[in-house]
Amino acid sequence: MSQDLVELAKRRGFFLGTAGAYGGVAGFYTYGPAGASLKDNIENAWRDRFTVQEGNMEVDAPTVMPEAVFEASGHLDGFDDMLVDCPECGESHRADHVVEDNTDIEEAEGLPIERIEAVIAEYELVCPSCGAGLAGQAVEPFNLMFETNIGPGSSSPGYLRPETAQGIFVEFPQLAEYARNQLPFGVTQIGRAYRNEISPRKSLLRVREFTQAELELFVDPEEDVPDLSDVADVVAPFYSAEAQYAEDGQPRELSVQEAVDEGVVADPWIAYYLGIAAEWYERIGVDMSRFRYRQHLDGERAHYAADCWDAESEVDGDWIELAGFAYRSDYDLSKHREHSDEEYTVFKQYDEPVTVERPTVDPDMSYLGPEFGGAAADVADALETLAERDPDAFREAGATDDVNVTVEIDGESYAVPVDRTGFAVEEVTESGEHILPHVVEPSLGIDRALYTVLDHCYREDEVDGEARTYLALPPEVAPTTVGVFPLMDRDGLGERAREMAADLRAHGLSVAYDDSGAIGRRYRRQDEVGTPFCVTVDYATIGERADDETREGGGDGDEPGTVTVRERDSTAQVRVAIEDLGATLTALRDGDLRFEDL
């Protein structure tokens, strides 16, 4: 983001560093009035497309969750960044960022720690703060979770969530009931997440508190496929792993259908959401000539993800990640099923009942108890699990001289005579089966989307010989829809303009009223915050003639009972009847009417 835009963002109330009066704190930003409104509008546009139009459910989970949730999800063990400390000034840095900023390695985050240490030594990299050499310094994993305690004392540890997804996964059994156990179904959430970044940087791009918009789609992996017809013709640049590995590889402009047919995107569900997201990013103001989809390389992709793509935008010559699209298989639900007392499956009804053979065991506890003492119940459970997983183990033991079947519990083996296990194979008629759904996840960063939109919509031009700065924000997401100005605050113009502003607010429009300074200056102020339309109340509005000094706002040719409506980008103006004003501006905001058609 250019320095000019950073200054505009602070001056016009988009965002600023938090707690500046106390020296500030890195990685936290406060959204001002314009920024909060822009952020809300982007979130509402996402909610409209990914929740409402897709027919999904929305939840709002707590930002603090108990430790057990993150033990199950794997965040306590594997949610780390690479930390290197300067031996001179003691400053901590993300080792992969030091590598990326000072070498031609672009995706150092996916490299192992040993390789990062070797690169730091090979290139003789230095501390970004003081210039001291970092070669030979240990690179350590640093867990990004913010820890807290739930209630007094330390007996109930908890964590600020590092992603919003776990709040959906842990509630899956109840959410499946709300969906009547019918797959596929989707659950969305927009909310805050927290990561204790080692070195926050680049304004809103690397922060410690941010907003995510996530969709978790639960599907039957054997039957559910998306209907690609609505997005088949959506075209976007696809930067595949193969192209990234090639010396001269470049993104390819492909339609979603072409990307699937050619195998560039392996999973149709991922392709479906790439199509939806491309249209959505364009809708909120992202310049699609500075946008691409990049496939994760082998070292970046999570072990459970069959395929993963990032949406990326170009800002100041760098490509930044906006969103991730992953096929997470059944990893998340299986983990929570394993660690909790809940069942994370969905009952899948067969078209017709089927008869199947079902291995069962009925262990003789009068034998297991005296033989194995306190481990008897665990042995019985292990026999049941073995019968489900490997019934041949019982058959083979019974057919040989080795009449025992062996189970292992906590590293210790227990041999049980087959005739004491009660092993049998029964024929049962089943009407369905319990399946563990797979998960498709589009996860978008709202703050990064806002940052990109501001950068891509920043414009400088000249109007009537005067330099102008404006934000070409789409009306749907602009912080303010319309500015209302009296030509001057006298002769009843100010009173009429204030009444009109209140009427437009009653129409559901975001309105800024301004009667301070020359009319041109007021236009410029609204241009800088991206207000798409301005309304000027002049003498023609109230049915009077202007005197020679004030007639620029409403002359002899202007119809009484009309106002001037000015469009931001072209600065063109038209007269609109007062009784039509609310409906006209609403239609312009919603895209149902074009300004040039007025």
Dist. CA 186–CA 111, nearest whole Å: 33
pLDDT > 90: what percent of the chain? 77
Task: Report, as an integer, the average pLDDT of 4-22.
Answer: 92
- What per-residue confidence (pLDDT) applies to 153? 80
**φ/ψ (deg, to 5) at 66:** -70, 160
Residue 99 pLDDT grade (very low, low, confident, very high; cuts 50, 70, 90): very high
Dist. CA 433–CA 388, nearest whole Å: 14
Is 346 in contact with 435 (CB distance < 8 Å)?
yes
Instruction: Say yes or no to pLDDT of 203 above 60.
Output: yes
- What per-residue confidence (pLDDT) applies to 556? 44
Among 147-156, 225-234, 434-443, 556-565, the minimum mean pLDDT is found in: 556-565
How many other β-carbons are positioned within 10 Å of the β-carbon of residue 318?
A: 10
- What letter represents residue 206's amino acid? R
Task: Report, as an integer, the average pLDDT of 305-327.
Answer: 93
- Predicted TM-score (pTM) of the model is 0.84
Dist. CA 211–CA 236, nearest whole Å: 25
Dist. CA 168–CA 163, nearest whole Å: 10
Q: Considering Cα of 137, then 140, then 145, then 149, what sign does the dihedral take?
A: negative
Per the model's pLDDT, the better-predicted residue between 457 and 358 turns out to be 457
How many other β-carbons are positioned within 10 Å of the β-carbon of residue 420?
A: 19
Instruction: Say yes or no to pLDDT of 550 above 50.
Output: no
- What per-residue confidence (pLDDT) applies to 553? 44
What tokens appear for 240 in the block?
A: 């595949």
Task: Report, as an integer, the average pLDDT of 265-269.
Answer: 95
The Cβ-side half-sphere exposure at 369, using a 13 Å CA radius, reads: 3
Assign 492 to helix, strand or coil.
Answer: coil
Q: In angstroms, what CA-CA distances link 451 with 204, 388, 457, 495? A: 7, 53, 10, 38
What tokens appear for 376 in the block?
A: 């008897």
Task: Report, as an integer, the average pLDDT of 168-190.
Answer: 97
Radius of gyration of the chain (CA): 31
Dist. CA 368–CA 532, nearest whole Å: 79
- What per-residue confidence (pLDDT) applies to 554? 44
- What per-residue confidence (pLDDT) applies to 400? 62
| Exposed / middle / buried, residue 207 (Cβ in 10 Å: 0-12, 13-18, 19+) | buried
Task: Report, as an integer, the average pLDDT of 328-357.
Answer: 90
Is 509 in contact with 586 (CB distance < 8 Å)?
yes
The CATH fold assigned to 480-597 is Rossmann fold (3.40.50)
Segment holding 274, helix H or strand E: helix 268-284
Q: Considering Cα of 575, then 579, then 583, then 589, what sign does the dihedral take?
A: positive
Dist. CA 490–CA 140, nearest whole Å: 69
- What per-residue confidence (pLDDT) applies to 564? 96
Q: Of 491, 587, 595, 484, which Cα lies nearest the Cα of 545? A: 491
How many other β-carbons are positioned within 10 Å of the β-carbon of residue 296?
A: 20
Length of the chain (residues): 598
Strands 404-409 and 412-417: antiparallel
- What per-residue confidence (pLDDT) applies to 555? 45
The Cβ-side half-sphere exposure at 522, using a 13 Å CA radius, reads: 20
Please list, in sequence order, all residues whose beta carbon lies within 8 angstroms of the beta carbon of residue 487, skipping any fewer than 6 positions away: 493, 519, 536, 537, 538, 539, 550, 552, 553, 554
Among 6-15, 54-63, 502-511, the minimum mean pLDDT is found in: 6-15
Q: Considering Cα of 437, then 430, then 357, then 379, what sign does the dihedral take?
A: positive
Q: In angstroms, what CA-CA distances link 411 with 382, 385, 406, 407? A: 13, 16, 12, 10
Instruction: Say yes or no to pLDDT of 109 above 90.
Output: no
Is 270 in contact with 327 (CB distance < 8 Å)?
yes
| Exposed / middle / buried, residue 33 (Cβ in 10 Å: 0-12, 13-18, 19+) | middle
| Exposed / middle / buried, residue 563 (Cβ in 10 Å: 0-12, 13-18, 19+) | buried
Instruction: Say yes or no to pLDDT of 9 above 80.
Output: yes
Assign 504 to helix, strand or coil.
Answer: helix
Which range, 165-179, 295-309, 418-432, is most confident? 165-179
Which range, 140-144, 213-217, 295-299, is most confident? 213-217
Instruction: Say yes or no to pLDDT of 579 above 90.
Output: yes
Distinct helix (H) and strand (E) counts, the chain: 19, 28
- What per-residue confidence (pLDDT) applies to 11? 92
- What per-residue confidence (pLDDT) applies to 1? 62
Instruction: Print the SS3 string covering 379-413.
Output: HHHHHHHHHHHCCHHHHHHHCCCCCEEEEEECCEE
Q: What is the pLDDT of residues 81-96, one digit of tens each?
A: 899 999 999 999 999 9
- What per-residue confidence (pLDDT) applies to 93? 92
Q: Residue ranges of the alpha helices (H) in 331-483?
A: 331-339, 365-372, 376-389, 392-398, 446-457
Residue 543 pLDDT grade (very low, low, confident, very high; cuts 50, 70, 90): confident
Mean pLDDT for the chain overall: 92
Please list, in sequence order, all residues whose beta carbon lies within 8 angstroms of the beta carbon of residue 522, skipping any fewer than 6 positions away: 483, 485, 514, 516, 534
Is 320 in contact with 205 (CB distance < 8 Å)?
yes
Instruction: Tell which CATH architecture fits domain 356-435.
Output: 2-Layer Sandwich (3.30)
- What per-residue confidence (pLDDT) applies to 570? 96
pLDDT > 70: what percent of the chain? 96
Task: Report, as an integer, the average pLDDT of 229-250.
Answer: 95
Instruction: Say yes or no to pLDDT of 306 above 60.
Output: yes
Instruction: Say yes or no to pLDDT of 552 above 50.
Output: no
Q: Where are the strands (E) in 501-561, listed by range?
A: 511-513, 533-537
- What per-residue confidence (pLDDT) applies to 389? 87
Dist. CA 71–CA 173, nearest whole Å: 19
